[in-house]
Structure 1
Amino acid sequence: MLSSSIAAFVHFAAAFALVGALVFEWQTLTAAPTREQAKRIGAADAIYGLSAVALLVAGFLRVFYFEKGSAYYFANPFFHLKLTLFIVTGQLSIYPTLRFLSWRKVLAAGGTPVLQPREHALAARLIKIQLLLIVGIVLCASLMAHGVGA
């Protein structure tokens, strides 16, 4: 019982951290961030990535070792949709993450990163789409947990 509760806590905490980091990126990202903003965006993106890994690991622990059992989840179409949306969200995060990682050299050299207008627009758009997909993930989780589609 305690293990199940801890897995659920890690799953939820990771989900909240992921969303918080992504919202921070969305609100802070500009075409010409200050050095401090760039550092914070990089840190938020690292939190986003670590949270995604923790969310996935805790989620699969819950599927295979706790909750309703893997047969229940794998038979539910909303579980499959939830995983698909999670994977797509992760793929959409690659471009912004690569941009943010490219800032490390500039920041280490004492400079300030600059995004070209197209780079900024694309990164901002991808972050917004990820946030929308997360809403879909949460909806799928609720439907799945309540047996809809089973």
Structure 2
Amino acid sequence: MTTEALLAYAHFLAILTMTVFLASEAALCRKEWLNAAVVERLARVDMIYGISALVVLITGVARTYWGMKGVGWYWSQPLLHLKVTLFVVIALMSIGPTVRFMRWRRNLRSSGALPSDVEIRNVRRLVMIEAHLLALIPILAVFLARGVAVSS
């Protein structure tokens, strides 16, 4: 029982951290606000977002193995597969912004150049899509926890 509670706590804390830093990226990635300090901050925020996403994945997998319902039950559930699929889609989408944030920082440090308005808008669009997809995962989690569309 204690293991289940601690795994749930670690998972929820990682989810909240990931959500906060994704929201921070969305807030910072605006052409009106982008300056040298924000470019540096975006790269750091994105790194914390990526680390927290990895912790979400690790703690989620740990919950399936060491949680009360067991690995057999969890991995036989279609809603879990849908959650994981959405998570992977978001992770793949986040590669683009991560690469661009690193490029922006490299360009800033080498030449002092900031990204173009079009580039900022395109990256922000991807970050916003990630955030909106992320908002779908909790409803799947709630349905899974309540036994909605669960395989027996």
TM over 0.5: yes
Alignment correspondent of 2:8:
8
**TM-score, with normalisation over the residues of structure 1?**
0.90
Alignment correspondent of 1:113:
114
Deviations 1:84-112 (A, max 9, x none): 10000011111111000112323434724
Deviations 1:28-64 (A, max 9, x none): 1123711111111111100110001000000000001
What does 1:66-145 correspond to in 2, within 5 Å? 66-109=67-110, 111-117=112-118, 119-145=119-145
Cα offset for 1:146? 1.2
Contact persistence 1:73–1:144 (CA under 8 A): no
Cα offset for 1:19? 0.7
Alignment correspondent of 1:146:
146
Alignment correspondent of 1:37:
38
Counterpart Cα distance in 2 of 1:71 and 1:77: 12
Cα offset for 1:140? 0.7
**TM-score, with normalisation over the residues of structure 2?**
0.89
Amino acid at match of 1:115: S
Amino acid at match of 2:28: T
Aligned-residue RMSD, C-alpha: 1.7
Gaps spanning 5+ residues in structure 1: where? none
Alignment correspondent of 1:53:
54
Contact persistence 1:34–1:112 (CA under 8 A): no
Gaps spanning 5+ residues in structure 2: where? none
Counterpart Cα distance in 2 of 1:13 and 1:31: 31
Counterpart Cα distance in 1 of 2:21 and 2:141: 20
Deviations 1:71-90 (A, max 9, x none): 22122111111001000001
Which piece of structure 1 moves more, 121-130 or 43-52?
A: 121-130
